[in-house]
Amino acid sequence: MKIEQIYTGCLAQGAYFIESNGEAVVIDPLREVEPYLERAEKSGVKIKYVLETHFHADFVSGHIDLAAKSGAQIVYGPTAKPGFEAYVAVDDEVLSFGNVKMKVLHTPGHTMESSCFLLIDEHGNDVALFSGDTLFIGDVGRPDLAQKAAHMTQEQLAETLFDSLRNKIMPLNDEIVVYPAHGAGSACGKNMSKETTDLLGNQKKNNYALRADMTKAEFVKEVTTGLMPPPAYFPLNVAMNKNGYDSIDTVLERGTRALSPAAFEAVANETNAIILDTRDAQTFAKAFIPNSINIGIDGGFAPWVGALIPDIKQNILLVTEPGREEEVITRLARVGYDFTIGFINSGIQSWINDGRECDSIKSVSVEEMSNELASGNYEVLDVRKQSEYLSEHMLQAENAPLDYINESMMKIDKSKKYFVHCAAGYRSMIFTSILKARGYDNLIDVKGGFKAIKESGKVEISEYVCPTTLL
């Protein structure tokens, strides 16, 4: 028996490939399924089941494509009502593959169909718990995402989750290894650990939500305090996971159209597509196609796309580093953005070589910013999350979170000049590019963000306060 965790940092998501004696199961696969098929072929095993812990909100699973290409059976826990062929297991049902078994544990609360899968080895020992979004390392799943579907309040869902944890998970053996669906950085919980596995016994000792003497009322208060609104794309991803979607092959075929500069401009004008430039922030700042927005592929790409492009059916035209087009299209598809309709052939250089107009964003060092601030002619915008800002910030900075850019832009006076910073420079360029596309021309990016600002010692910083949450 072999357990492989396939962790994707961009989504802070863990998928799992478990094999035994010629058969395998895949748990919570990502949209692109070729890696799982290749693993199966390399090991000489047949994928028997695709196990889904719940209808995911933060990404689109590859369950449908994987089942179609491998012949595997899709399995959900009790109460699930998928809009495609799948097996809905009953609570405590045991599935066999190879020489081992997988027990279905219905653990509603995060969502009502949420289930964990308990791996039982060839000797009959419980060895691993694939806990989905029910139990994380250091945290539990947020109980507010399924309110509409369940016709329940977040408090009622939290009560349900409390019962699931106490009745189904906490009685299990301390030596069981917990394999969750997410780690730190995911919006599916509040305070997840950077660790991606742990012994269940350690979680019983260290996870606040598993405290043995915790009352249900205390649990409800703990898990619901500090919850920020989920990203707008979450319910749209749930619908795709529940009802079905285009094959990733179709998405790639639609998106991988290499366009000349003239054709690119024509398609942009005809379709009202968003021009998404995925290059590094500082590279983007030097020269970009007018009205482009920058979300760098090498940062927290997919979640920021989901947070900032409200319509998952939005047509998208890409500017990428040459050779990374398919990677970008795939990562967009992971969060349901299936309508990439082409990319500029040979990247921004072909646009420049064609003699077409480019735009730019001024980006300055901390030293340049501090020198200019002395004039009194500039304001400062801190686009980090409110919790980050409250923890520590420039005294003269105003918080304008990227997460809520439509509200944040209302704080900006077009007649004034602003320095814009985030933690390290990724989010500030996203913010500035979006606002520039909306006609805000007096925004200057600060290289290196708050990290560089603090290290410089050139500006006054507020006293550090430990944040209660980093949502």
Digit-coded pLDDT (tens) for 111-138: 999 999 999 999 999 999 999 999 999 9
Judged against a pLDDT cut of 80, whether residue 191 lies above it is answered with: no
Judged against a pLDDT cut of 80, whether residue 151 lies above it is answered with: yes
Compute the distance between CA of residue 79 and CA of residue 61 in angstroms, rounded to an integer: 19
What is the 3 state secondary structure string of 364-428? ECHHHHHHHHCCCCEEEEECCCHHHHHHCCECCEEECCHHHHHHHHHHCCCCCEEEEECCCCHHH
Compute the distance between CA of residue 72 and CA of residue 381 in angstroms, rounded to an integer: 51
Digit-coded pLDDT (tens) for 425-439: 999 999 999 999 999
Digit-coded pLDDT (tens) for 85-120: 999 999 999 999 999 999 999 999 999 999 999 999
In the prediction, which pLDDT does 466 show?
A: 81
Share of the chain above pLDDT 90, in %: 91
Mean pLDDT of 303-309: 91
Domains of the chain: 2-236 (3.60.15.10), 246-353 (3.40.250.10), 363-456 (3.40.250.10)
Mean pLDDT of the chain: 95
Digit-coded pLDDT (tens) for 16-62: 999 999 999 999 999 999 999 999 999 999 999 999 999 999 999 99
Mean pLDDT check: name the lowest of 230-239, 335-344, 377-386, 440-449. 230-239
In the prediction, which pLDDT does 471 show?
A: 44
Judged against a pLDDT cut of 70, whether residue 468 lies above it is answered with: no
For residue 69, what are the contacts with CB-CB under 8 A and spacing of at least 6? 33, 37
In the prediction, which pLDDT does 426 show?
A: 98
Judged against a pLDDT cut of 60, whether residue 8 lies above it is answered with: yes
